[in-house]
């Protein structure tokens, strides 16, 4: 891997080394996906903790029976933070629904037709690699 992106696998033919390199690449991709999920969950929990802390603080102040104008302000704060949390949860659920709808459909690919549509130079390079 370079600083910004992974280095492509070298062409190692059908050797054991190639199989090992492919297995390592597969493992790296799975770990990247796992890290992305962990980062997303961390950011989401942080976003949910902020309104929870504000609600808790406002509730503690309201427990002390402050003057009506102070109580009204903290009640509005609780309602605003609740709306913020509700929005975060709704966005998360919407994203989950969208991700569950995405499917990759397998279908036959006309390889010969695609091959003949390639420019002549690309076909000759492909034949040399085979």
Q: What are the pLDDT tens digits along the chain (130 aa)?
A: 445 666 665 665 667 776 777 777 778 777 777 777 788 888 888 888 999 999 999 999 999 999 999 999 999 999 999 999 999 888 888 887 777 776 667 788 787 777 777 776 666 776 777 6
Length of the chain, in residues: 130
DSSP character at residue 110:
-
| Look-up of token digits 């949860």 | 89
Residue 3: its pLDDT value, please? 54
Please say whether the beta carbons of 61 and 78 come within 8 A.
no
Is 9 within the bounds of a domain? Answer: no
Residue 63 lies in a domain: yes
- Would you say residue 2 lies in a domain? no
pLDDT number for residue 114: 75
Residue 8 belongs to some domain of the structure = no
Model pLDDT, residue 9 = 58
For the chain, the domain total comes to 1
Compute the distance between CA of residue 27 and CA of residue 19 in angstroms, rounded to an integer: 12
What pLDDT score was predicted for residue 115? 72
Structural domain contains residue 4 = no
46: domain CATH number is 1.10.287.130
In a domain, 102, yes or no: yes
Domain that holds residue 54: 16-129
């Amino acid at each position: 891997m370079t600083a910004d992106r992974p280095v492509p696998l070298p062409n190692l033919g059908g050797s054991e080394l190639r199989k090992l390199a492919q297995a390592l690449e597969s493992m790296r991709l799975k770990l990247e996906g796992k890290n992305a999920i962990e980062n997303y969950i961390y950011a989401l929990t942080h976003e949910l903790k902020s309104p929870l802390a504000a609600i808790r603080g406002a509730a503690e102040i309201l427990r002390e029976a402050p003057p009506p104008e102070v109580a009204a302000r903290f009640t509005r704060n609780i309602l605003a933070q609740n709306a913020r949390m509700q929005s975060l949860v709704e966005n998360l659920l919407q994203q989950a629904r969208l991700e569950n709808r995405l499917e990759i459909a397998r279908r036959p690919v006309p390889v010969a037709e695609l091959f003949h549509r390639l420019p002549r130079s690309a076909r000759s390079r492909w034949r040399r690699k085979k």
